[in-house]
Structure 1
């Protein structure tokens, strides 16, 4: 297989549990060798179902899944050569850590010496070289998760699937494990398909993210493109924090759309997926792209706003404004000497560039 061919290919895959309602609708996705692709979406959007079909734990209703150019719809899970990490770790409590790792190698009829060498190497990969004789219950949650990751890697799989693997960990440990899995992926050249509903986790770890909603992928792009260039209102709202103003398109000129908001304000925005005057539009604006008291003429969109609330976040002040008929408009203001003059109830101008305001579907 050349590097230009996908390692995994979903082709027109559908899934229905009852023969009537499709929980996955016409899913297409290529995963290149060495890529880290995350399936991201709210609960019930179909992402875990897609992962389970790839693992072989769920049959497809229609369509074909390929691994290394070969269809695997009828290949049983244990013959797909895929490593798997679950949220609940799924470790055998009566076995030691080393025995847990040796188990997939025994199933593959590997000799004892080779088994021990692979187990030791996998434990070293996750910094647990001295823990082989302990039982899972003698380990912390983070250590158990490391063992689960090591077990998925011990037989050198072509592909590793991870289903919400960090969901049971506390915030600090979760962040630490995100970087550890990311570095393992990079250093070993692993191909990873990852499922999460945590957008920060997806942005931190992935080469590409497929955003699911109601069984459909609405956008599959790099983390940067998903955040900076969402193709629709759902993705803009689901990825990162976002201000939304609703309105109707007044006119379109090249890549710019003039939108009259429901409050009657006129906003110049970058046209994404509105097509003509009269179209309903969602204006999308990131909180860090909005300027407070911009110098005259600097921003094409400038409005008088009332400070409703100031919340101290250390590196920035999260400020809630009432503007353009919207009283929950969030601006992240860097914590600096220049910005300490804001007070609740104060009236100030805020503004933004038309490049930072996206006119999306209504």
Structure 2
């Protein structure tokens, strides 16, 4: 396999221009409800971008419009610098990987891989060479004569991936490709796809509702909700610096506390909780004093009791549940108005003190607590 030749098309985009661009794209099926609302999105050449969101958020519809299986109600989609409006799927030079594999059951593995090459009328010798390289890439060179029914789910997914890449497409789209696999195999395939992407440098647009999968594989993640991108960023910044309550709750585990803004100054705010305690937080999406807000703090940013000396915030809490997970404990606490406040504690000899019913102090820095829109 070789990286796509970026100069093979007269319409190829300049190196610094977006490889894929959605411009004011809207989609409605009934003429009233917009499934995708004014989508503006630029995807860089060679990027692994994941569209992440719950069911009905617009992520899959956006992917299907890019693939050509759905038509935008308005707006434009550009690939390699030119509009692909009206261009049928088979002329877009795009590879597709589906959750259900979509392999031809009557063909062998080699024949499945050869199919997209033969329809492009490539010479037989080149087809054989490309099929061989693709099979070696996914470690299935010994399975070329088998049919899909003779393969495991993971092997079938490897064949589907190889078929999407065998003709060196300028773009690969993946729609929940690992959803049918068990947890261990899914995690293995996540890394395998990531490594293949890194070695080939092909542009990938990946759709999933699994936030762990998105964090593991992506260069950037676009979080969708109600047809709108809520935030697009690199995985660590998306997790550590969510811009609103939806993103904070959808990406990773999150503790929420409700309160009223007392004051805002210097990028920080003081928030009065329902039980009368006060929290100092980073002001992200808050209004004026007197307005409500939701505080967001990750479980791993919280320390307990004496370990919290010097932290900006110290609140009273009570242990409701202690969950042993080998190298660490998960404690469910009652804090202010929340009975589902989670803390991760490294397991040590003194961890035995954290039993249900015990009173503790929860502590964290203002930088680790984000004041967001109320929910």
Instruction: Report the TM range for the smaller structure's normalisation.
Output: over 0.9
- Superposed, 1:1-362 pairs within 5 Å as 1-295=13-307, 297-362=309-374
**Secondary structure, in 3 states, of the residue corresponding to 1:161?**
strand
- State the 1:183 CA deviation: 0.2
- State the 1:236 CA deviation: 0.3
Task: Measure, in 1, the Cα distance between the counterparts of 2:209 and 2:320.
Answer: 31
**Secondary structure, in 3 states, of the residue corresponding to 2:306?**
coil
- State the 1:343 CA deviation: 1.3
Deviates more, 1:267-276 or 1:155-164: 267-276
**Secondary structure, in 3 states, of the residue corresponding to 2:143?**
coil
- State the 1:295 CA deviation: 4.9
Task: Measure, in 2, the Cα distance between the counterparts of 1:351 and 1:291.
Answer: 5
Task: Measure, in 1, the Cα distance between the counterparts of 2:51 and 2:309.
Answer: 42
Would you say the 8 A contact 1:3–1:32 is kept in 2?
A: no
**Secondary structure, in 3 states, of the residue corresponding to 2:223?**
strand
Normalised to the residue count of structure 1, the TM-score between the two structures is 0.98
Deviations 1:289-320 (A, max 9, x none): 11111357412211221111000111210100
Task: Measure, in 2, the Cα distance between the counterparts of 1:168 and 1:3.
Answer: 37
Task: Measure, in 1, the Cα distance between the counterparts of 2:193 and 2:309.
Answer: 47
Task: Measure, in 2, the Cα distance between the counterparts of 1:2 and 1:228.
Answer: 33
Which segments of 5 or more consecutive residues in structure 1 lack a partner in the other structure?
none
Would you say the 8 A contact 2:95–2:171 is kept in 1?
A: yes
**Secondary structure, in 3 states, of the residue corresponding to 1:130?**
helix
Aligned residue pairs, count:
362
Deviations 1:57-84 (A, max 9, x none): 0001010000011000111100000000
**Secondary structure, in 3 states, of the residue corresponding to 2:280?**
strand
Normalised to the residue count of structure 2, the TM-score between the two structures is 0.95
Deviations 1:23-55 (A, max 9, x none): 000001111111000000000100000000000
Would you say the 8 A contact 2:164–2:172 is kept in 1?
A: yes
Task: Measure, in 2, the Cα distance between the counterparts of 1:325 and 1:309.
Answer: 17
- State the 1:2 CA deviation: 2.6
Task: Measure, in 1, the Cα distance between the counterparts of 2:197 and 2:153.
Answer: 21
Which segments of 5 or more consecutive residues in structure 2 lack a partner in the other structure?
1-12
Change (3 A) 1:63 1:292: same
**Secondary structure, in 3 states, of the residue corresponding to 1:340?**
helix
Would you say the 8 A contact 1:294–1:350 is kept in 2?
A: no
Would you say the 8 A contact 1:159–1:190 is kept in 2?
A: yes
